[in-house]
Each structure stands twice: as structure tokens, then as C-alpha cells.
Amino acid sequence: MAIQGPGHRKFGNPGPLGLISFASTTLILSLVNVNARGVKEPNIVIGMALGVGGLAQLLAGMWEFACGNTFGATAFSSYGGFWFAYASVLIPGTGILDAYNGTTDLDNALGFFLLAWFIFTFIMLMASLRSNLGLVFLFFFLDLTFMFLMIGSFLPAKVNITKAGGGFGIVTAFIAYYVGASELIPREAGYFTLPVYQLPRRD
């Protein structure tokens, strides 16, 4: 049996890693946002945000750069950074929450944080319009998630708005699971495929 040199090796597809890592972390936080089973404190997501949503997505993003996929690299690396940033807010040792202790600024500050991600996700939504319907729906519902969570932060008395954001987050997570699974089960490697409906590209 001949041994193939490095020039014959192919990069694996980092998309499923990034998508499923994003989906899992988003699902857990969104379940907290809708107060599923009475859980209201989001600290359970810290470990997932650091190890899965953060590190795994960041690694997927770096490999997307190596594969020449600027869109995937930007998405995975940025949302990996989002989860690192969100975890740092929740970790007591960072002092971020302590800085707002006893003030009403925390909700507005979180609103600013979510506003930035709402804008970024809208840009990613526009960039996805020449890809496939799976990604378009993913970024559309993710943008709705950020929008409702942002409004819920600016209007903390409106608990139902934050719960709506959690509901859209759950939908987003399952779309990400589906798109990730569709890339993990390509036509040549599986007994069935999950269609994501490619959109027409510019000639």
C-alpha cells in the first residue's frame, strides 16, 4: 500500500463542528431565557460557552479560513468570540457584574452588547442570501433572537419579550442543528441527505 504525502491530504469540513457547537450552546441559554423547568439563572451555560460555543467555534472558524471560506470563518470566529464574551460577563471573578451592582445600568449595558450583535447578525444575514435557505433562516431567526433579547434588556419589566427571544433562540438552535447535520451527512457519505436548498449565485 502506497503512503500518500501531505499534498494528497484534504481538509475536513469544519462547518458541522461550528454549527452544532453553536446550536447546543444556544439551545441551553434559550431554555433558560424561557424559564424552562423554572430555571432562571444562566450560569449553567458558562462551561458550554467557554468550551463548546467559544473554543470549538473559534477552532472551526480558523479552519474555515484555511479552507478559503471567508463567510464561514467570519461567522464561526465571531460567534465563538460572542460566547467567550458572554461567559466573561457571568463569571464572578471578572468583576463585570460587580461593577454594576446596586445600579440600574446593567440592563442597558447588556442591551448595548446585544445591539452590537443584532447589527452584526443582520450583516451576516445579508451575506447569506447567496448561500442556501438553511443559512438564511438560521441568521434570520438568530437576528430576531438578538432583537427581542435586546428589547427585553432595555425594557426589563417586559419579561415576555425576553421569553420571546428565548423562544426564537430555540428555533435558531434547531435550524443550526439541521444545517450542521446536513453538512455532516453529505450525499457521498450517507444513506440520505437533508436538503438546505441552494440559492442562485451571481454569474
Tell me, what's the pLDDT at 55?
A: 98
Residue type, 122: F
E strand or H helix that includes residue 91: none
pTM of the prediction?
0.91
Q: In this predicted model, what pLDDT tens digit does every residue of 10-65 receive, in sequence order?
A: 778 999 999 999 999 999 999 999 999 999 999 999 999 999 999 999 999 999 99
Q: Which residues contact 49 (CB under 8 A, 6 or more apart)?
A: 25, 29, 83, 84, 86, 87, 90
Residue matched to cell numbers 441527505: 193
* CA 53 and chain centroid, separation: 7
- Per-domain residue ranges of the chain: 14-184
Q: Put residue 95 in one of left, alpha, beta given phi > 0 → left and psi -120 to 50 → alpha.
A: left
Distance CA 113, CA 100 (A): 14
Q: What is the pLDDT of residue 192?
A: 81
Pairwise CA distance, residues 86 & 88, whole Å = 5
